[in-house]
Structure 1
């Protein structure tokens, strides 16, 4: 268990930045293992799922609860800020288009796990980036983030 926890923290630090591992996975988390491979699959804090381990690329996908924890990380750059007009769609899990992006954290690359925020800084969704942060800001058409979970769907 401790070995898996250390490994998950290391992956979180690599994927989201230094300090993300301890913030996302404090002591007392519960790891659910895959029955077929006996590898970590779901990570819970109390009774709330905060992340999933994706075995295909050995990275993490976060839930809304996990994103809210990551949103507290100083210097976190894996975020996209959207205009208020599209919040209701993002909260329902609809995809985010480049024309609706107000700000994007520096260094976002396609396939990165990103947090979608409103203009006040609150988490409204999580998903996978399709464009780089520069492209999200420059392009006026096209998909920017493939939303995996919206806040409204996971209350």
Structure 2
């Protein structure tokens, strides 16, 4: 990855998920960056798979490997939604996470934010887009909390 790409992508990640997110996502190794025909970064691919896609709205969508890096790099629980045993197999399959099964969520999460879904044990289950605020996920008993984009296979 070119230094100019790394600096720009790190700034966007730090803006979207807070200080340290860019380092967590792009600090290790040398991820491959694909570009659009106009030269804008599009996909960032790490050693194990897609980290992020740089969307046309100027924000990232998380890949599963990017979610794992964020989970490891941001130990304070930012942009994390926690579910229990009841919904684990469904979330792993890529099905949406419902508010009824959310046991904890970062209160800073807003609808539309990219989040990492983890199990109560701490392992990453999936990544996706929040449909409710962090507080709303805990308050509501019905409805989709997170639109799951990519689920992790059981280990």
Asked if 1 retains the 8 angstrom alpha-carbon contact of 2:126 and 2:152, the reply is yes
Aligned pairs for 1:124-143 (under 5 A) are 124-143=125-144
Q: Distance in 1 between matches of 2:49 and 2:122?
A: 22
Aligned pairs for 1:51-130 (under 5 A) are 51-55=52-56, 57-72=57-72, 73-130=74-131
RMSD of the TM alignment (CA)?
1.6
Q: How many residues align?
A: 152
Measured after TM superposition, the shift of residue 47 of structure 1 is 5.5
- Calculate the TM-score normalised by the size of structure 1: 0.92
**2:40 matched to which residue of 1?**
39
Asked if 2 retains the 8 angstrom alpha-carbon contact of 1:17 and 1:76, the reply is no
* Consecutive unaligned residues in structure 1, runs of 5 or more: none
- Calculate the TM-score normalised by the size of structure 2: 0.92
Measured after TM superposition, the shift of residue 25 of structure 1 is 0.6
SS at match of 1:125: strand
